[in-house]
């Protein structure tokens, strides 16, 4: 009996202990406030769309482009604005914007009232992606010009050449414009991009341009680059040499100008199909010596032909086996000639700048395929341009050299400490630069 009584007392004690623990636990849970905010999603207030300085939700927005036959009056008339009102608007805003300057294909926006007729209250014209003109006539009539906010995003990219630089950049989703900048603006005089080798590699610091934070308008500029070609390094740093005229050029780490007085090729990414050769023999002529005093660049018909240096057009005509051609005098020593054009884009006496399109590749005259025969004259004698020691462009002034070398120090440090990671660095590294910072 005593043993049974002790067992019952023990069971009661265990039950009592469990009840105490449960009560204490429940009390502690009641004393702890519930962190309900963790269970609720934070709702951000909706961002109200704004453009041109207007809250778009306040209007009925109509967007269109200027079409053939459209005028300022025609556009407003078909949107229920009377001609007396149109005349009044035109008269009061003519000092700010001439309504006759609307161009076909350009964008315009009408901000209309939310009434039964959707009556226009503002006309916004965009001559380009950045600039716009506002003609407001909601309460009073006034007009003003403005620009959309611009943002520059600085990026750093590296790559290793397997076949071509354009393919390497394309795999990383980078605009082909960057290829053209490197090949035709920066390294056009020091590296032949038609002869890049597998294993050549590069690093580029450049900036992309955005309007309204979202509209991508392409590569803006290249700040600096490093190209390793045939195991030889080529640095390039952008530097403004004349702030008044806005002259910008590229120099290497020793402040030497990368530009030369002449481009290496009159076409972009063309293939040399026949070189300058005074002892050339042709089977068609019985293997007799038929000197070839030019360099042929094969390219599809219609490919733009560029002036390899600035100068004055002395001939733009058609003659015999030359077909349609252009000849340019660059100074008292040098002349260049471009044969077999489909058509010329310049006239005799016209001044052209280096890189200007002077015509297009064709097959006029004696030619077996589409190409441009590029001829180079020194003191009235035709020579091989690839064997000439061509003059360099204007060097940086002594007064700016010290400033330049100090300016490129941090940029060169960044390039030198950017490592080649073609597999890992698939997307360019980004840094946002505002318009104000860019201007400074």
Query: Is residue 329 situated within a structural domain?
Result: yes
DSSP string, 94-144: TTT--GGG--TT-EEEEEE-SSTT--EEEEEEESSSSEEEEEE-SSS-EEE
Residue 359, number of CB atoms within 10 A of its CB: 25
pLDDT at residue 408, as a whole number: 95
Average pLDDT score over residue span 117-143: 93
- CA-to-CA distance for 158 and 418, rounded, in angstroms? 8
Query: Is residue 77 situated within a structural domain?
Result: yes
Looking at 122, 147, 172, the residue that finishes a domain is 147
Residue 104 pLDDT exceeds 60:
yes
Of 37-46, 137-146, 185-194, which gets the smallest average pLDDT? 37-46
Residue 43 pLDDT exceeds 80:
no
Is residue 89 located within the same domain as residue 58?
A: yes
pLDDT at residue 395, as a whole number: 77
Q: Which residue has the higher pLDDT, 434 or 56?
A: 56
Q: Residue 230, class by beta-carbon neighbours within 10 Å (0-12 exposed, 13-18 middle, 19+ buried)?
A: exposed
Model confidence band, residue 247 (pLDDT cutoffs 50, 70, 90)? confident
Query: Is residue 367 situated within a structural domain?
Result: yes
Model confidence band, residue 42 (pLDDT cutoffs 50, 70, 90)? low
Of 166-180, 409-423, 426-440, which gets the smallest average pLDDT? 426-440
Is residue 347 located within the same domain as residue 416?
A: no
- CA-to-CA distance for 369 and 351, rounded, in angstroms? 30
Is residue 236 located within the same domain as residue 316?
A: no
pLDDT at residue 332, as a whole number: 81
Is residue 334 located within the same domain as residue 419?
A: no
Is residue 431 located within the same domain as residue 325?
A: no
Is residue 57 located within the same domain as residue 84?
A: yes
Share of the chain above pLDDT 90, in %: 48
Kindly report the CATH number assigned to the domain that includes residue 329.
2.70.70.10
Looking at 88, 117, 147, the residue that finishes a domain is 147
- What distances in angstroms separate CA 92 from CA 78, 143, 345, one per listed residue? 21, 8, 43
Its domain, for residue 309, covers 271-387
Average pLDDT score over residue span 184-209: 87
Query: Is residue 380 situated within a structural domain?
Result: yes
Average pLDDT score over residue span 164-176: 85
What is the bridge-based pairing of β-strands 247-251 and 232-242? Answer: antiparallel
Is residue 186 located within the same domain as residue 108?
A: no
Is the pTM value of this prediction over 0.75?
Answer: no
- Planar angle of CA 408, 411, 243, nearest 5 degrees: 50
Looking at 147, 169, 190, the residue that finishes a domain is 147
pLDDT at residue 163, as a whole number: 83
Number of structural domains in the chain: 3
Kindly report the CATH number assigned to the domain that includes residue 128.
3.10.450.350
- CA-to-CA distance for 407 and 243, rounded, in angstroms? 15
Query: Is residue 25 situated within a structural domain?
Result: no
């Amino acid at each position: 009996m005593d043993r049974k009584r002790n067992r019952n007392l023990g069971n009661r004690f265990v039950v009592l202990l469990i009840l105490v623990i449960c009560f204490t636990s429940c009390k502690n849970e009641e004393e702890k406030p519930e962190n309900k905010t963790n269970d609720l999603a934070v709702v951000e207030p909706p961002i109200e769309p704004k453009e041109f300085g207007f809250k778009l939700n306040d209007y009925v927005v109509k967007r269109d482009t200027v079409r053939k036959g459209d005028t300022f009056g025609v556009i407003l008339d078909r949107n229920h604005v009377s001609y007396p009102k149109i005349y009044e608007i035109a008269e009061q805003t003519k000092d700010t914007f001439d309504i006759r300057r609307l161009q076909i294909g350009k964008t315009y926006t009408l901000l209309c009232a939310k009434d039964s007729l959707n009556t226009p209250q503002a006309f916004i014209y965009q001559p380009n992606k950045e600039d716009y003109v506002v003609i407001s006539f909601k309460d009073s009539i006034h007009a003003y010009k403005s620009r959309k906010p611009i943002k520059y995003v600085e990026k750093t990219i590296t790559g290793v050449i397997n076949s071509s630089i354009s393919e390497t950049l394309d795999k990383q989703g980078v605009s082909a414009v960057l290829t053209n900048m490197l090949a035709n603006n920066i390294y056009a005089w020091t590296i032949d991009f038609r002869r890049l080798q597998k294993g050549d590699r590069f690093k580029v610091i450049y900036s992309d341009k955005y309007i309204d934070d979202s509209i991508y308008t392409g590569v803006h500029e290249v700040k600096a680059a490093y190209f390793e070609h045939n195991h030889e390094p080529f640095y390039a740093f952008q530097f403004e040499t004349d702030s008044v005229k806005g002259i910008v050029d590229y120099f290497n780490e020793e402040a030497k100008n990368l530009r030369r007085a002449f481009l290496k090729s009159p076409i972009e990414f063309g293939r040399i199909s026949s070189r300058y050769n005074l002892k050339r023999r042709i089977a068609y002529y019985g293997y007799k010596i038929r000197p070839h005093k030019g360099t042929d660049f094969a390219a599809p018909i219609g490919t733009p032909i560029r002036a390899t240096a600035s100068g004055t057009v002395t001939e733009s005509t058609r003659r015999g086996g030359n077909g349609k051609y252009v000849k340019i005098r660059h100074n008292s020593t040098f002349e260049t000639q471009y044969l077999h054009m489909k058509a010329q884009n310049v006239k005799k006496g016209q001044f052209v700048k280096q890189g200007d399109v002077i015509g297009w590749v064709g097959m006029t005259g004696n030619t077996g395929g589409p190409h441009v025969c590029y001829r180079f004259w020194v003191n009235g004698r035709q020579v091989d341009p690839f064997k000439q020691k061509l003059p360099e462009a204007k060097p940086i002034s002594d007064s700016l050299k010290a400033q330049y070398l100090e300016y490129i120090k941090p940029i060169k440090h960044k390039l030198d400490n950017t490592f080649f990671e073609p597999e890992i660095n698939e997307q360019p590294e980004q840094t946002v630069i505002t318009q104000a910072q860019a201007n400074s």
